[in-house]
Amino acid sequence: MKVPLISGKRAVKVFEQAGWSFSRQRGSHVMLTKPGEKQTLSVPQHDELARGTLSALIKYSGLSLGEFLNLLK
């Protein structure tokens, strides 16, 4: 499976479906938090996220690529 090219806005929506919630925004980065998680996701609001950036965010969120792709549909 290949990491898709999606916007930061779309990525935030998918992470919110997985239980992450908007915490704050600093410049062009949206911070997401999840109860019970120490990790904070910082999602850049670019028109197209780099595959490496999105891959790292998926890893930090605790989701597998397959789970992320299912939520993306």
Cβ burial, residue 14 (10 Å; 0-12/13-18/19+): buried
Residue 64 φ/ψ, nearest 5 degrees: -90, 165
**Into which CATH architecture does domain 8-72 fall?**
2-Layer Sandwich (3.30)
How many angstroms separate the CA atoms of 16 and 47, rounded?
A: 18
pLDDT per residue over 8-64, tens digit each?
999 999 999 999 999 999 999 999 999 998 989 999 999 999 999 999 999 999 999
The pLDDT of residue 66 is: 96
